[in-house]
Amino acid sequence: MKPYRNEAWLLMLPAAAVMAFVGVIPLVAVFNYSLHDIFSLQDVHWVGVEWYEEIITSSRFHASLGRSLLFSAVILLVQVPLGIGIALLLRGAGRWAVVVLMLVALPLVVPWNMIAMMWLGLIDPQTGIVGQALAAAGIGFDWKFTALHTWVLLVVMDTWHWIGLVVILAYAGLSGISPDYYRAAAIDGASRVAVFRFIELPKIAGPLGIVLLLRFVDSFMIYTEAFAINAGGPDMATHFLAIDLGEEIKGFSYGSAAARSMVYFLIVITVVWAFVRISGLSRQEERR
């Protein structure tokens, strides 16, 4: 049991002040903009919820939302099992575990705008290692004009970028399991599947929740990489939610962009809220 002390807020002040300045104030500002038609900062008209109505009823928004949801679903289905698999193999790999962890962490330190560039260079049929290999094998990889190929490229690239996070967090959960559990399971003659289901999965559930949340939100709002690859093309096939928003900001349509921001924020917040509910803020509760 932790003591109940409101004086602890004094310790929270610096962090709370920073979060208020960079988070809460801008968010309130976005909400305010979203209710106005903004020609310039001097020329602002109240329009109420018109922007919201326009966005929510537009078929373009529905299409982008569908694409973003599909992309997130594919990303989670690919990266989470793959990451857990690698993490399971890492357990008991001794000193090699550290080497592999360092390796998968590498893409995490690449600046985001460089990632698309590196991959485009890699698959270039003339100069890229993979591009040349594909061309030699007679496989036409047409990421510029074939929607499926653009998607494949995005998913592979995103997996390259983020698999490290999944592996690191899953491994963190696994390394907290005492060897006694495995010994007990061996004595009971438990199958590998049973060991995973009843020993490993509960232990990595916490970090895995964080992974699911972070990977969902980041892939759902993918912008920098997707835009650099094909600017939403071909024929809108990779036109995700964040790209819509980026276009509106670039087009100086601030009121509408703000309303769109609020819609996205509400979607994200709903997911976070559901996540917190499902995990029941359980860690907090149990500790008390």
Partner 1 sequence: MKGVILRVAVFAAVAAFILLPLAQTFLLSFMSTLPREGMVEGEWSLINYRNIAADPALTGSIVNSMIYVVLNVVLCIGAGLPAAYALSRYRFVGDRHFLFLLLAFRVTPPVVLSLPIFILFANAGLVNTPVGIALVHCLFNLPIAIWILESFISAIPKEFDETAFIDGHSLPSFLLRHLVPAIAPGIGVAAFFCFIFSWVEVVFARILTVTAGKPITMAINALFGFQTDIGLVMAMTVVSLLPGLGMIWFVRNHIARGFVMRA
Span 183-242, contacts to partner 1 by CB under 8 A: 202-203, 205-207, 210, 213-214, 217-218, 221, 223-224, 242
Distance CA 106, CA 90 (A): 17
Q: First and final CA of the chain: distance in angstroms?
A: 5
Find the radius of gyration of the CA atoms of the chain: 23
Distance CA 130, CA 127 (A): 9
Which is closer to partner 1, CB of 70 or CB of 266?
Answer: 266
Scan residues 45-84 and list those touching partner 1 (CB under 8 A).
none
- Chosen residue from 55, 65, 84, 86 binding partner 1 by CB under 8 A: 86
- Cβ 51 vs Cβ 34: under 8 Å: yes
Give the binding range for partner 1 (CB under 8 A) out of 24-32, 42-50, 179-187, 230-238: 24-32
136 binds partner 1 (CB under 8 A): no
Q: Which residue has the tokens 């990451």?
A: 83
- Chosen residue from 49, 56, 194, 272 binding partner 1 by CB under 8 A: 272
Which is closer to partner 1, CB of 195 or CB of 257?
Answer: 257
- Torsion sign over Cα 77, 80, 82, 84: negative
- Closest distance to partner 1 from the beta carbon of 146 (Å): 21
- Closest distance to partner 1 from the beta carbon of 164 (Å): 8
Which is closer to partner 1, CB of 229 or CB of 257?
Answer: 257
280 binds partner 1 (CB under 8 A): no
277 binds partner 1 (CB under 8 A): no
- Chosen residue from 39, 77, 81, 113 binding partner 1 by CB under 8 A: 113
- Closest distance to partner 1 from the beta carbon of 33 (Å): 7
- Cβ 252 vs Cβ 203: under 8 Å: no
List, in order, residues 6 or more apart from 122 with CB less than 8 Å away: 128, 129, 130, 131
Residue 183 CA, distance from chain mean position: 36
